[in-house]
Structure formats: structure tokens, C-alpha cells
Structure 1
Amino acid sequence: MPRFAANLTMLYNEHPFLDRFAAAAADGFKGVEFLFPYAFAASEMAQRLSDHGLQQVLFNAPPGDWDAGERGLACLPARVDEFRAGIARALEYAQALKCPRIHVMAGLAPAETERAALQATYESNLAWAAVQAKSCGVDVLIEPINTRDIPGFFLNRQDEAHRIVQAIGAPNLKVQFDLYHCQIVEGDVAMKIRQYLPTGRVGHFQLAGVPMRHEPDMGELNYRYLLNVLDEVATECDWEGWVGCEYRPARGAVAGATTAGLGWRALADKT
């Protein structure tokens, strides 16, 4: 059965951020993820994880100016120094939170820059980041994201992400496979799980209902089937990662909204 991690950026939004750890633990989650930890002291979050018996499984490296619309720096030739400083900061948090994975967002492709230059910068930055992270025992993840949610995002397809990871060849550089994004861009999700998970290049999964990004028991994807496929293939290839619950509760941010929507977890129960 897949191990689910609560995404504390999207779930339990009726609570202040630091109180979401307790809410996730109360609902039976053993792992958590979120977008960014940098507004809080690492020691404070580490204490919340310890207090509630939770494992931090993933967070993102600094993305540039998020509030101004930036969505990562990795492909931007003029921002290499800032990218490297961000990786150093992320690794400090990863060690403090005992987190084995950081997601490095590719960034938005500037229209005035040739894609070849962006690609070269992206791959060079990823190779450098993987070396830095290896010494800390951390995996670096890249994620194809659909251009409906993030117009202009540089990396969109599973095949391209896996080509990059394979070409760089760093054992701790892997793909973050978000089933929601994959369905919007490509479809054929079950076959892509079967194709890519056995390669050893998938470091993490995420899910959400399509198209509204609510609970995974809503929308066009059959998650009962997909989670059983994931469980089957993970067992065959001895994969023991996590599935991040990166969705927006359909009930909104009212009290109890996340908890009331968790009935979907029974989709992963084969009995």
C-alpha cells in the first residue's frame, strides 16, 4: 500500500502553518511535504516533526521571487549564482529536518533566450546540485509541470525529465512524478508508471484529482486503479518511496475541510 504524505502547503489551511503538523498526524499521516520552509526556523519545524512522529519527505529549493511570479531558477543563465546559494540553503534545511529529497524547480523559459542555452544551464545546474546534495545524503528531484497551471514552465513531459536524469547520470538525481500534471500534459498515466518506476529514476510521486486539483476521488482519473498499479509495480521493483497529497480540499479552508475529504484513502485499500 502506498505511503501517503500530507502536503502542508495545500492541506489543513484552516490552521496556521506550524499547527498543520499536528493536524496531519491526528489524521494518521506519517510523512509530510510542503513547498518552502524558509519563512520558519528549521529548528522549530524539526521540533514539530519530532513531537508528532512525522517524517519530512520533500520540500522545494528556493524558487526565486515566488510572490513576483518566479517559479524556479535552474534554467536561467543569468541566475546561476543565486541558484547555487539557494541549493546551499535548501541543503541546510534538509539536514536539519532529516529530509532525504529536495525538489528543484526548472523555472519559466524567457522568450528572449534560446532554448538550447536554457537547456545547457539547466543540465549544468542540476549536475552541480546533485554533487552538492550527494555529500549530504539527499536526492535532487525535477518535476515536469503542466503549462496550464504554470504557463511557460521549462519542463513539461516525463520523457524529457527522464532523458535529462539519464544523461546527467547522477544516482541521486531523480524525477518527481506528479500524476496530476502527467494526465494534463500526456495522459496514459498507468503505462508511464509501469515504464518509469522500474528504472530507478523516480524519487517521489504526487497526486490530485484532474482537472480541478481537488481530492483524488473526484475527476477524470481512476485513482483506485492507478494506486493499485503503483503498489503492484513498487512491490515488483522494491520501491519504498512516498506519494505526496498535493491537492486543494474541495471544501476549501473551513474547519475540518481536509479531514472530511480523506475518505479517498480507502481507494488504496485492496480489501
Structure 2
Amino acid sequence: MPKFAANLTLLFTELPLLERFDAAHRAGFRAVELLIPYDAPVDDLAHALRDTGLHLALINTPAPDWAAGQRGLAALPGQTAAFRDTFETALHYAAHLRPDHIHVMAGLAVGPEAHATYLQNLRWASQRAPDQSLLIEPINPHDMPGFFLNDFAQVAAILDEIAAPNLALQFDAYHAHRITGDMPGAWAKYGPRARHIQVASAEGRHEPNRGAIDYPAFFALLDAQGYTGHVAGEYVPSARTEDGLDWIKAGV
């Protein structure tokens, strides 16, 4: 089975953030991801990882005003200086937490100017941190209207244009289903570009153990293909997190 990770932004939210690390470890996870870690002191997060022995698979770049609807800065015209500041914050956290990947959040933007801004910022980021794996992710327009990246072909074209060895795809199976209606087909076409996977049920974005996406078949395919990255549960638990973890039991 793949190496599973727990998204501590969405899972174990019955507990304060720093207590979720131990809960994830006790539940059988050996890795975690954090969408927005910046509300917690980096030293506290580092201690939580060290105390539990958990590995950090992923963090996002900051979205400084998430509560007001901001979803990143990388594609926002006129915000290049602000994006670079937030990227430096991500690198500061990464220096202490050692995540495998940083997801560079594109933000809410459309049009040619946004495209040019995004390319400029991704080129700069990939050169600024050549030894850090950076990821970009298409997000479906139903859940996040206006997000700049909303199509896998769009992402593939951007990756080809920038051609940076440290820049790759973050493949979210839930978003793939919502964008294409054919998650296995999207994986067959774009999976070779992916370094990190996230999973949730197609219906309601809950536990990846039922519904339209056949996750046992997908996990078996990943094994057969020799995928070595993490598969993170990025979903909204339907009840207590601990009550819905059967989907990881065969892989821990």
C-alpha cells in the first residue's frame, strides 16, 4: 500500500493543532501535511514532529488573509513583492520543518496578465529554492470559484513552459473527479508529473472509502506503478476522525 499521510488542517480537528500530531501518530500515520502552518510558531511545530517521529510531506505557501477569501498570491497581478515575501516565509518554515514539498498557491485571478504573473513568480521561486520540491495544483471551480489553476491541461502546459526540475504536479483525486469526471483517466494522462497525491471521497469530500472513486483499485495501481510519494487524506471527516480511518489500515 502507499505511504499515507494525514492532513492535520482537516483531520483531528477535535484537538488543538499541536495535539493533532500525537493523535495522527497513535492512529497509525507516519507522515502528515499542513495546509497553512503559519499560525503556529515554527519551533512548536518542529518539536511536535520530532516528539512523534512524524515526517512532514507538504505545506502550502501562505495565503495571508484566508478568512477574507484569499487563496494565495502567485498569480495575482501587482502582488509580486507580496508573493515573494510570503514565499520567504514558507522557506523559513521549510528550513525548520523539512517538508518534502511546498505547494505554491496560485490565488484567485484570471486572464493573460495573471498567467504572465504566475509564470514569472514560478520561475523566480524555482530558482530561489532549487533544492526544494515545489508543486502546483488544479482546484475545481465548484469548490473554489475563480482559482487561477482549474484544469490539468493548463497545469501541464505551465510545467512544460517553465521546465524546472524542482516543479511538479500535486494530484488531488477529489479535484480530478470534480474537474474531469474521470479521475483514473486524469491519473493515466497526468500522473507521471505528480509527486504528491491527496484523496477524499467524490461525494461530500469525506473519507476515501466509498463512492464514485474506487480507491482500493487506485492504491493498488499506485503500488503496481511504483509510486513512492505520499498519499494524503485531505478530507472533511464525517464524524470523529478516528472513527473513519479504515481506509489506511492495510497500509500501516
TM-score (norm 2): 0.96
Q: Residue in 2 aligned with 1:64?
A: 64
Counterpart residue identity of residue 117, structure 2: T
Q: Residue in 1 aligned with 2:48?
A: 48
Q: 2:217 aligns with which of 200, 225, 248?
A: 225
Counterpart residue identity of residue 250, structure 1: S
DSSP-derived class of the 1:62 partner: coil
Q: Residue in 2 aligned with 1:242?
A: 230
Q: Is the 8 A contact 2:171 2:191 kept in 1?
A: no
> How do 1:36-115 residues align onto structure 2 when only pairs under 5 Å count?
36-109=36-109, 115=111
Q: Residue in 2 aligned with 1:190?
A: 184
Structure 1 residue 194, shift from structure 2 partner: 2.7
- Backbone CA RMSD of aligned residues: 1.4
> How do 1:120-139 residues align onto structure 2 when only pairs under 5 Å count?
120-134=116-130, 137-139=131-133
Structure 1 residue 173, shift from structure 2 partner: 0.6
Q: Is the 8 A contact 2:4 2:251 kept in 1?
A: no
Q: Residue in 2 aligned with 1:261?
A: 244
Indicate yes or no: 2:160 matched with 1:141: no
DSSP-derived class of the 2:79 partner: helix
Matched residue pairs, number?
252
Q: Percentage identity across aligned positions?
A: 45
Residues 126-151 of structure 1 show CA distances to partners (whole Å, capped at 9, x for unaligned) of 111111121xx211111100111111
Which structure would you say has the larger RCO, counting Cα contacts within 8 Å and 6 or more residues apart?
2
Aligned partners of 2:224 and 2:67: how far apart in 1? Answer: 40
DSSP-derived class of the 2:78 partner: helix
TM-score (norm 1): 0.89
Q: Is the 8 A contact 1:4 1:243 kept in 2?
A: yes
Counterpart residue identity of residue 183, structure 2: V
Aligned partners of 1:90 and 1:244: how far apart in 2? Answer: 20
Structure 1 residue 268, shift from structure 2 partner: 6.2
Aligned partners of 2:8 and 2:103: how far apart in 1? Answer: 15
DSSP-derived class of the 1:84 partner: helix
Indicate yes or no: 2:159 matched with 1:176: no
Unaligned runs of 5+ in 1: 252-256
Aligned partners of 1:266 and 1:57: how far apart in 2? Answer: 19
Structure 1 segments (4+ residues) deviating >6 Å: none
Unaligned runs of 5+ in 2: none
Aligned partners of 2:20 and 2:207: how far apart in 1? Answer: 18
Q: 2:144 aligns with which of 116, 130, 150?
A: 150
Aligned partners of 1:86 and 1:189: how far apart in 2? Answer: 32
Counterpart residue identity of residue 226, structure 1: F
Q: Is the 8 A contact 2:140 2:175 kept in 1?
A: yes
